[in-house]
Amino acid sequence: MATTRPQANGNGNGSAVRPAKVELEEEDENIFLFYPNLIGYSRVVLALASLYYMPLHPRTCSILYSVSCLLDALDGLAARHFSQSTKFGAVLDMVTDRCTTACLLVFLGSAFPRWSIIFQGLISLDLASHYMHMYATLSMGGSSQSHKNVDESRSWILKMYYSNNKVLFTFCALNELFFIALYLLSFSSPFLSPTLLKASEPTSPQPGSPAVPKPSMLFTSPWSAGAMEMARANKMDSTIPWILAVISFPIMFGKQWINVVQLVKASKWLAEGDRLERKRLGLPAKKGKKVQ
């Protein structure tokens, strides 16, 4: 009678031996140290430094602020090159943009008091438009959808604005350039920022009461509004800032128009979702017919 023999294996005793499993432990990636996010942190540092120099040092502030804005394009390139696009990086980038622009507009509102309501409106429009667009994208399009993925059927303008990197960079760069030019004009243009203290003809012959007192007699605090304006007055030539302002104004205006379109489209998208949700819940409840 034939007998079955146990198959021989590596240990020679005929018993089955399971190969040892090699478990590879994958280390969790540190999202906060991705190259695009490191660039984002440097943008924040440069923006804070520009705010420190903003009241009295226009050249230093403008250089720091401009470099911070230009790095906005570099972090996107780094994200695509190293395959390190993250939601945290996208939010960090947007928050940095909104905060730096808002801080600059706050300064412009104080530098040009008669136009402060315009700068306040621009801050509100910028924040409301981007928040509404981001919220609509997350709630209606899903958490995995980027705010830059805009369906052309909803808005071809927003589709072109977000899908073309060259268009996006041009609008954002020249929008910031216009506000930087206004900032420089607050140090150089008597037309836009006339000095508070204007010399006038002496009207009082009494000694000890000069008609045109020294600034130190009027503004004892070096951080008062008048002292700050005097320190800014005619500190630099206004020719180049005026040229930059004129060139960049049409793009800046177009950027604000896009913000309005973005706000309106996001509002309609959210309202559309509300209508669908109310229909799903059977709202509004239909009233029964009255029986006579």
* pLDDT score, position 201: 47
Compute the distance between CA of residue 272 and CA of residue 225 in angstroms, rounded to an integer: 48
What are the tens digits of pLDDT across the range 82-123?
Answer: 999 999 999 999 999 999 999 999 999 998 888 999 999 999
The mean pLDDT of 46-53, rounded to a whole number, is 97
pLDDT band at 51 (very low <50, low <70, confident <90, very high): very high
Q: C-alpha angle with apex 174: 180 to 100, nearest 5 degrees?
A: 50
* pLDDT score, position 18: 55
pLDDT band at 199 (very low <50, low <70, confident <90, very high): very low
Amino acid in position 81: H
The mean pLDDT of 180-184, rounded to a whole number, is 95
| Residue scoring higher pLDDT (18 or 32) | 32
Sequence-separated (6 or more) residues with CB below 8 Å from residue 4: none
Using the predicted structure, report yes or no on whether residue 207 has a pLDDT greater than 60: no
Using the predicted structure, report yes or no on whether residue 46 has a pLDDT greater than 70: yes
Burial class (CB in 10 A: 0-12, 13-18, 19+), 205: exposed
Q: Domain 32-193+231-277's class? A: mainly alpha
pLDDT band at 217 (very low <50, low <70, confident <90, very high): low
End-to-end CA distance of the chain: 99
* pLDDT score, position 40: 96
- Please give the torsion angle defined by the CA atoms of residues 249, 254, 256 and 262, in that order, rounded to the nearest 10 degrees: -170
Compute the distance between CA of residue 222 and CA of residue 132 in angstroms, rounded to an integer: 41
Give the predicted TM-score (pTM) of the model.
0.79
* pLDDT score, position 289: 53
Distances (CA, A) of 269 to 9, 91, 144, 160, 289: 67, 21, 17, 18, 34
Compute the distance between CA of residue 171 and CA of residue 193 in angstroms, rounded to an integer: 27
| Residue scoring higher pLDDT (174 or 153) | 174
* pLDDT score, position 200: 45
What are the tens digits of pLDDT across the range 265-291?
Answer: 999 999 999 999 999 999 988 765 554
What DSSP designation does 4 have? P
* pLDDT score, position 28: 85
Token readout for 237 is 């030539």
Using the predicted structure, report yes or no on whether residue 3 has a pLDDT greater than 90: no
Q: Is 93 a catalytic residue?
A: no
The mean pLDDT of 244-260, rounded to a whole number, is 97
* pLDDT score, position 180: 97
The pLDDT mean for the chain works out to 83
Token readout for 12 is 């020679």
Catalytic residue among 72, 75, 93, 97: 97
The mean pLDDT of 200-208, rounded to a whole number, is 49
